[in-house]
Amino acid sequence: MQKKDRKQSITLKDIAREAGVSVGTASNAINRQDIVSSDLRMRVEKVIEKLGYHPSALARSIKKNRTLAIGLIIPKIKNAFYVQIIDAVEKLVKSHGYTLILGNSDDDLDTELRYLRTFAAMRIDGLILATVGRKDPQRIERELNTYEALGIPVVLIVRGIDQAMHDTIVLDNENGVYRATTYALDLGHRHIAIISSAAHTSASKERIDGYLRAMRERHYPCDQKMIRVDMASPENGYFTAKELLDAENRPTLLLVATSSLLIDCLRAIHDLGLRIPDDLSLICFDDPDWSPYLNPSLTAIRPDTEDLCSVAVRFLLERIENADAFSTRTYVVKSELIVRASVKSLIC
Amino acid sequence: MQKKDRKQSITLKDIAREAGVSVGTASNAINRQDIVSSDLRMRVEKVIEKLGYHPSALARSIKKNRTLAIGLIIPKIKNAFYVQIIDAVEKLVKSHGYTLILGNSDDDLDTELRYLRTFAAMRIDGLILATVGRKDPQRIERELNTYEALGIPVVLIVRGIDQAMHDTIVLDNENGVYRATTYALDLGHRHIAIISSAAHTSASKERIDGYLRAMRERHYPCDQKMIRVDMASPENGYFTAKELLDAENRPTLLLVATSSLLIDCLRAIHDLGLRIPDDLSLICFDDPDWSPYLNPSLTAIRPDTEDLCSVAVRFLLERIENADAFSTRTYVVKSELIVRASVKSLIC
DNA sequence: AACTATAATTGAAACGTTTCATGATTGATT
DNA sequence: AATCAATCATGAAACGTTTCAATTATAGTT
């Protein structure tokens, strides 16, 4: 089936003709009210009302070389962490007169690249990118070069890219997990496992590093079997968790590295009939809004998303205003350990 | 601070000049490969690669009178139900070559209206709208008339609007709650309360109607105090729930009408020290993906979001292809009662 | 009355594409 | 040789705006 040509709409030319002025004047009557007689302005407004004129942002953008649109690409909308980010970023950009264009790459590099291309073609004024990761850094770099060529600023969040050519906001993954691990050690846990996804992201590596640093500093051995990296295919976290928890020497505490893995892990725990925290203690990196209402409520490492987003948007808008005023910046967002009830103390 | 003029980019004219052809030909070499000699096509492609040409979707859209963008406006992204919808709709439109433009009105009518205007200005090819409701139907109607005038089809989802001028996909609110209520009655519950938000939406009314119908059919009295309508201001659900559950004759079962209220209710239940299901049974309309991992797992009414989205997108695309081929359609999405562990049987 | 300064309007070019009627080039067919 | 088709490329108009130099009208000053 063919798309029918869309009904053609009222244009500025129609307004001008009906009001008996030139089209340039009609434009001025709308946008530059200071420069036009109030008499004329009212006349044009009447005609606009009468004919039902709705200006085209396309034509406007092409002339003004700005779209007032900002792109946000995230890896997984089903992850509550990114929902918080979408919500916060949207409010922020809206308050500055921009529209948010969302891309959900669904943990798929090709989808991400496709959004990168589409958004560049759309000539968004700026991009906030949480990339799916480093499976194929060159391909992402290549798209980002397009942004460079088009003069569209890019801010990376959550996950950086090696060459520090862009402003980047990252979480303190290492430190967050480090503190969670020492907290667990302080409560007497020794068999601590960590399950993480997507080995190719630096976040994953950093979180594991935080775990390792805590264990090493306290001189506890780290069994490699306690470190599991899930391959980010759907459902896979479930099997990884199940295997880990069904093994002979089950850990006493499980660190879950992302809230999307959390659901898989909970399902595995549930299916194995394990009780939290008696059979297994649990800490999650990232604190979805329902975590207090799990039973028991969930001890979690909560990154300061508000801060993350406001810095990201600020950086981006600064670049949009004045692209070259700053050298590349990096900002690390603090996280906080929220102690609830999912970790059992093992000291007598 | 003023926005600096963006670096001006390579245009088709540059390609044409460098390749020694006319700009029309360059365009053909890119888009109409059948009509151009393969020799020329390769030459142009080389130049494109060399100069780094990135076509402007703005200019293209203005000529072709289509943007390949579809708008989706939802009332609350923090509501897991709408996250599912975003995810599903995005995948569907993407598979048809469209880009999704998301607007989160955050339960605010003005924000919704603003998105309606912005999206119309952007000349999206179609709109899927879950409106915040009927606080001020005329104002929404007015914006929708703009879409009519511009020939942009609109499909309403989840929440309809009185005059049936648009295709509409709704949930079977009444029936879903009806079945949940009879299920509760069958298990011996008599003091059943329902808490709902946003009295101005028809969904809210229908859900309460389903509750009432079940009670009446079975000839049980409905205490008006058992029907609470929350005013949709943030945190408010918490107080409404708390008041309801702290009263003298506390219900034995609570029907929660939306998953965003659910979090507030859980907090109230938690704060009052009530245990589910022993002190209070719970059923929620809408089934977020974490509901199986609440403890106890949550009995819920789950609408078939996949179906909702695929029908909505299908209706919309059909209208885009051929706006007038159909008269206004309405589709009701089925829902299913997922029985888990949050309802206690009261029969001996 | 002549001049000037200010204010209001015009007209055309420009933004980066697509499209289409026209023209040019080639090869095959009589 | 002349005609016809088929294939390729051209150039200009169009899409709906904004912008800006140029023009005209208006009022103010001497």
Sign of CA dihedral A104, A75, B106, B271: positive
Which residues have CB under 8 Å from A107's CB, separation 6+?
A: A75, A76, A132, A198, A232
Rounded, the Å distance between the CA of A118 and C1' of C16 is 17
- The pLDDT value recorded for residue A264 is 86
> In terms of Cα–Cα distance, which of A335, A329, A305, A304 is closest to A315?
A329
SS3 state at B248: coil
**Comparison of pLDDT for A205 and B97, the residue scoring more:** B97
Q: How far apart are CA B100 and CA B90, in angstroms?
A: 6
* Angle between helix A38-51 and A12-19 (nearest 10): 120
B25: nt with nearest C1' to CA:
D9
**Comparison of pLDDT for B64 and B135, the residue scoring more:** B64
| A310 CA to centre of own chain | 12
SS3 content of chain B, % helix, strand, coil (to 5): 45, 15, 35
| A151 CA to centre of own chain | 22
Tell me if B58 and A123 make a contact (CB, 8 A cut-off). Answer: yes
Determine the residue of chain B that is closest to A125 in CA distance.
B6
Q: Check whether B2 has a pLDDT greater than 50.
A: no
B256 token code pair = 């929660």
Rounded, the Å distance between the CA of A103 and C1' of D11 is 40
Residues of chain B above pLDDT 90, percent:
72
- The pLDDT value recorded for residue B1 is 43
- The pLDDT value recorded for residue A2 is 45
Q: How far apart are CA A282 and CA A233, in angstroms?
A: 22
Mean pLDDT value of segment A113-124: 97
Query: What does the pLDDT look like over B117-165, one tens digit per residue?
Result: 999 999 999 999 999 876 788 899 999 999 999 999 999 999 888 776 8
- The pLDDT value recorded for residue A1 is 42
Q: How confident is the model at residue B233 (pLDDT cuts 50, 70, 90)?
A: low
Q: How confident is the model at residue B295 (pLDDT cuts 50, 70, 90)?
A: confident
Q: How far apart are CA B315 and CA B328, in angstroms?
A: 10
Q: How far apart are CA B140 and CA B132, in angstroms?
A: 10
Mean pLDDT value of segment A54-77: 96
A190–B contact, CB cutoff 8 A: no
pTM score: 0.92
Q: Which residues of B touch A150 (CB under 8 A)?
A: 6-7, 9, 54
Q: Check whether A234 has a pLDDT greater than 70.
A: no
Q: How far apart are CA B55 and CA B11, in angstroms?
A: 7
- The pLDDT value recorded for residue A285 is 94
Query: What does the pLDDT look like over B175-214, one tens digit per residue?
Result: 999 999 999 999 999 999 999 987 667 888 899 999 999 9
Determine the residue of chain B that is closest to A66 in CA distance.
B6
Mean pLDDT estimate for chain A: 91
Location of structure tokens 């142009």 = B44
Least confident range of B84-93, B114-123, B222-231:
B222-231
Alpha helices in B123-168 (DSSP H): 137-150
A95–B contact, CB cutoff 8 A: no
A289 token code pair = 């809004």
DSSP-assigned letter for residue A46 = H
Rounded, the Å distance between the CA of A59 and C1' of C25 is 38
Q: How far apart are CA B7 and CA A170, in angstroms?
A: 28
Q: In what order do the strands lie in the sheet with B69-74?
A: B99-104, B69-74, B126-129, B154-157, B167-171, B330-333
Q: In what order do the strands lie in the sheet with B299-303?
A: B227-230, B192-197, B253-256, B281-285, B299-303, B335-338
Indicate the residue of B3, B99, B149 with minimum beta-carbon distance to A118: B99
Which residues have CB under 8 Å from A128's CB, separation 6+?
A: A70, A71, A72, A73, A89, A154, A155, A156, A157, A312, A313, A316
Q: Check whether A294 has a pLDDT greater than 70.
A: yes
Q: How far apart are CA B72 and CA B118, in angstroms?
A: 12
> In terms of Cα–Cα distance, which of B142, B254, B248 is closest to B195?
B254
B259–A contact, CB cutoff 8 A: no
* Contact by Cβ (8 Å): A254, A196: no
Phi, psi (deg, nearest 5) at residue B74: -125, 155
**Averaging pLDDT over each range in A132-141, A177-186, A193-202, which range is the top one?**
A177-186
**Comparison of pLDDT for A76 and B294, the residue scoring more:** A76
- The pLDDT value recorded for residue A199 is 61
Beta-ladder partners of B197: B230
Strands (E), A163-246: 167-171, 192-197, 227-230
Q: Give me the residues near strand D, CB below 7 A.
A: A 8-9, 11-13, 23-24, 27-28, 30-31, 53-56, 58-60, 62-64; B 20-25, 28, 35-37, 39-40, 59, 62-63, 65
Query: Which amino acid is located at A214 in the chain?
Result: A
DSSP-assigned letter for residue B283 = E
DSSP-assigned letter for residue B195 = E
Rounded, the Å distance between the CA of B330 and C1' of C19 is 39
B63: nt with nearest C1' to CA:
D15
A113 token code pair = 């690249």
- The pLDDT value recorded for residue B51 is 95
- The pLDDT value recorded for residue B288 is 86
Q: Which residues of B232-241 are buried (b: 16+ CB within 10 A; e: fewer)?
A: beeeebbebb
